[in-house]
A = this chain, B = another copy of it.
């Protein structure tokens, strides 16, 4: 559509093109012609040149020249395909952390497409930021991060790495807790509704879940893989219903899947928790969990605390220069609500 030349047009170019000096161009472009007594002829000449050449001001230069104290910039790379509510929870956590810790940073969010982190991490972006928090990197994105030496401090949220500081939840615990609940309730026929594992923590969670159950003689677990969405959860339950016997308890690996599943059970006259108890790995919004029908029992993830931990680490990396990749792991807890009481 638009012709984007790779070499940017500068004030100098306009000056050369019109035959006036750079300073005059600068004055005109900032709308100060009148105040500075620039002739109308010159003004028009410059403005039209700017348009034809496709001038866009270089904001770095303006900033540099402005001599304003430049706050360090922290960039949050966010997988924009993530349909969950996490972003708002995470952002809120970050902002609270900024305030509580008295940090003085300029926070910005850069959406990126899963598997294409590399494309978003241009040299320009790297040069333009003092610290980076990366959320939900895919395996492919992780490979990129592991293989390349980026010049900016990076903290990984919910991923493991020996190269970068990481902030995680205890995935083993996340798998163990729901198993314990189901066992305590004497359940015998569990099912797990999950989406393709786009990070290894998901495998760990599921494996520990299975392991704990198998330790108590339960090894026949219905497993349905779908996409991480409400429609995915809905479809997988419909599929489940075709294959009797029904499970007596279900673990959903995300709130999206859980809400879809609940709707499907409801539509088919299956009572939650009467016939089937349901627990979700609570990666969504608290309120949406509390006000669903029935309200959703979850393994609650400490998103806000994790956001704070990410910020602390990045801040440390920015102030101290040399940082070793530490691993912070947060604990989760079971929150019993209607879909699986106690």
Which residues on A are within 8 Å of B, measured CB to CB?
A: 1-2, 4, 6-8, 29-30, 47, 50-51, 54, 56-64, 66, 68-73, 80, 82-83, 85, 87-88, 91-92, 95, 101-104, 106-111, 113, 123-125, 127-130, 151, 229-231, 233-234, 256, 259-260, 262-263, 266, 285, 287-288, 290-293, 295, 315, 318-321
Supply 30 A–B pairs (Cβ within 8 Å), ascending by A.
A1-B103, A2-B101, A2-B103, A7-B69, A8-B69, A47-B321, A54-B319, A56-B319, A58-B64, A58-B70, A59-B73, A59-B127, A60-B70, A63-B127, A63-B128, A66-B123, A66-B124, A80-B95, A83-B88, A85-B85, A106-B125, A108-B108, A230-B288, A230-B290, A231-B290, A233-B291, A234-B291, A262-B293, A263-B292, A263-B295
Contact A321 B7 (CB under 8 A): no
- With A110-B108, A127-B68 as given contacts, are A231 and B83 in contact (CB-CB < 8 Å)? no
> Nearest chain B CB to A260's CB is how many angstroms away?
5
CA distance A101 to B129 in the complex (A): 27
Copies in the complex: 2
Contact of A318 among B56, B127, B230, B233 (CB under 8 A): B56
Contact A231 B291 (CB under 8 A): yes
Q: Which of chain B's residues has its CB closest to A295's CB?
A: B263
CA distance A47 to B233 in the complex (A): 54
- When distances are taken between beta carbons in the complex, the residues of chain B under 8 Å from A88 are 80, 82-83, 87
Contact of A291 among B70, B123, B259 (CB under 8 A): B259
CA distance A60 to B260 in the complex (A): 47
Contact A70 B293 (CB under 8 A): no
Contact B107 A107 (CB under 8 A): no
CA distance A266 to B88 in the complex (A): 28
- When distances are taken between beta carbons in the complex, the residues of chain B under 8 Å from A260 are 287, 291
- When distances are taken between beta carbons in the complex, the residues of chain B under 8 Å from A72 are 56
Contact of A111 among B95, B233, B259 (CB under 8 A): B95
Contact of A87 among B87, B108, B113, B321 (CB under 8 A): B87
Q: Which of A1, A69, A106, A288 has the most CB of B within 10 A?
A: A288
- When distances are taken between beta carbons in the complex, the residues of chain B under 8 Å from A8 are 69-70
Contact B92 A80 (CB under 8 A): yes
- With A8-B69, A110-B108, A293-B293 as given contacts, are A83 and B127 in contact (CB-CB < 8 Å)? no
